[in-house]
């Protein structure tokens, strides 16, 4: 593993590292604040635009503001063409966990629970990884996922956790069902732009998905929140989940950061202000 960090300056330092995981090679940007506090690391997952380098510019200030270590993996198209959904042979979830374990050699907090945030395809990877490894996640922030694996036994996998006609899905269903109780105990925040209602080419479309989750990312975000609440109620608990609408925003992650302050929201260690959380 290449892991050489710049000497501290008057600002945060950024280092790009490359590791060879059992699932495949993974490049990562690590932002180290000048004065780092003892806090959970923040892991930020890009979407299909794979704009990890651009996101470094937006999250570098948040590292300095919060004192948190911020990790931005880069799933390149050549090695990770379909990183959004863990499965054979694309085990991006394994690569992500191995990355954190390797970083823990230098930053011990990476070996425990982290805060995980993902946008679009990254939000898909984030919630599916959290379902497989809930013990490694503290707060999960999902920004405008195209679709979700609902904690719903009545909806066939991969749209839910119900039985599927494909034999290969059985293992994934069992693993996610086994970790469901722990997953439902996580702090989950779901963000979506008020204008993220387009059915663009990147949005997964099917009659079953449209009927059960909604026709756009805005509707699907609300469906997901409702499904998590219902599943938690079925387990005798109240879900710590909120839907946060980003006024005037569409599907662009960087615009949501610059126009709605999204980076500050997900990097803050305190909870969201009541004015930001939608009642639904």
State the chain's mean pLDDT as an integer.
Answer: 91
Asked if the model's pLDDT at residue 269 lies above 90, the reply is no
Q: In what order do the strands lie in the sheet with 24-32?
A: 13-21, 24-32, 70-74, 42-45, 114-119, 137-143, 187-193, 240-246, 277-278
Max CA separation in the chain (angstroms)? 57
Res 272: pLDDT: 33
Task: With a cut of 70, say whether residue 109 has pLDDT above it.
Answer: yes
Q: What is the pLDDT of residues 255-265, one digit of tens each?
A: 999 999 999 99
Determine the Cα–Cα distance for residues 97 and 152; give it in Å rounded to an integer: 25
pLDDT at 202 over 50: yes
Mean pLDDT within 110-122: 97
Output the pTM of the full model: 0.92
Sign of CA dihedral 141, 145, 151, 157: negative
What are 52's two structure tokens?
Answer: 């990890």
Q: Which residue intervals of the chain are DSSP H helices?
A: 52-66, 92-103, 121-132, 169-178, 180-183, 207-213, 217-234, 253-260, 262-267
- pLDDT, residue 273, reads 38
Domain spans in the chain, listed from the N-terminal domain onward: 13-278
| Cβ contact 240:187 at 8 Å | yes
| CA-closest candidate to residue 70, choices 104, 43, 105 | 43
Average pLDDT over residues 20-38: 94
Burial class (CB in 10 A: 0-12, 13-18, 19+), 81: exposed
Higher pLDDT, 272 or 261: 261
Please list the alpha-helical segments (H only) found in 67-120: 92-103
Is pLDDT of 85 > 70? yes
Does residue 280 carry a pLDDT above 70? Answer: no
What per-residue confidence (pLDDT) applies to 168? 80
- CATH number of the domain at 13-278, please? 3.40.50.1820
Question: pLDDT-derived band of residue 210, with 50, 70 and 90 as boundaries?
Answer: very high
Q: Which residues lie across from 116 on neighbouring strands?
A: 43, 140
41 has pLDDT over 70: yes
Question: In the chain, pLDDT over 70 holds for what percent of residues?
Answer: 92
Residue 31, pLDDT > 50, answer yes
Under the banding of pLDDT at 50, 70 and 90, the label for residue 275 is very low
What are the C-alpha distances in Å from 182 to residues 134, 172, 175, 274, 279? 6, 16, 12, 26, 24
Contact 189, 180 (CB under 8 A): no
Asked if the peptide bond before residue 89 counts as cis, ω within 30 degrees of 0, the response is: yes
The model's pLDDT over 152-180, given as tens digits with 9 standing for 90+, comes to 999 999 999 999 888 789 999 999 999 99
Model confidence pLDDT, tens digit, residues 240-254: 999 999 999 999 999
DSSP 170-193: HHHHHHHHHTHHHHTTSEEEEEEE
Q: How many CB atoms sit inside 10 A of residue 77's CB?
A: 10
- Residues paired with 244 in a beta bridge: 191, 277
In the predicted model, what is the mean pLDDT of residues 188-197? 98
Label residue 270 by pLDDT band (50, 70, 90).
Answer: low
pLDDT of residue 274: 35
Answer whether residue 20 shows pLDDT above 70: yes
Comparing C-alpha atoms, which of 153, 43, 187 is closest to residue 104? 43
């Amino acid at each position: 593993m290449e892991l050489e960090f710049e000497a501290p300056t008057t600002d945060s330092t950024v280092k790009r590292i490359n590791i060879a995981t059992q699932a495949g090679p993974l490049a990562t940007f690590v932002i180290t604040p000048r004065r780092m506090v003892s806090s959970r690391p923040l892991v930020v997952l890009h979407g299909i635009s794979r704009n990890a380098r651009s996101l470094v510019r937006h999250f570098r200030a948040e590292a300095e503001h919060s004192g948190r270590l911020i990790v931005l993996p880069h799933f390149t198209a050549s090695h990770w063409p379909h990183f959004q959904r863990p499965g054979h042979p694309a085990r991006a979830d394994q690569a992500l966990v191995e990355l954190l374990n390797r970083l823990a050699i230098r930053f011990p907090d990476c070996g425990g629970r982290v805060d995980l945030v993902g946008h679009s395809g990254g939000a898909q990877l984030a919630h599916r990884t959290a379902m497989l490894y809930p013990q490694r996640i503290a707060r999960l922030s999902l920004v405008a996922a195209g679709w979700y694996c609902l904690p719903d036994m009545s909806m066939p996998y991969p749209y839910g956790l119900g039985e599927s006609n494909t034999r290969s899905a059985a293992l994934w269903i069992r693993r996610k069902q086994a970790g469901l109780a722990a997953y439902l105990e996580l702090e989950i925040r779901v963000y979506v732009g008020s204008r993220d209602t387009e059915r663009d080419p990147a949005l997964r479309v099917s009659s079953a998905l449209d009927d059960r989750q909604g026709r756009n990312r805005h509707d699907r975000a609300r469906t997901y929140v409702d499904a998590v609440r219902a599943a938690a109620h079925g387990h005798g608990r109240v879900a710590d989940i909120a839907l946060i609408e980003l006024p005037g925003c569409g599907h662009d992650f960087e615009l949501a950061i610059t126009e709605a302050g999204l980076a500050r929201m997900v990097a803050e260690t305190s909870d969201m202000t009541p004015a930001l959380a939608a009642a639904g």
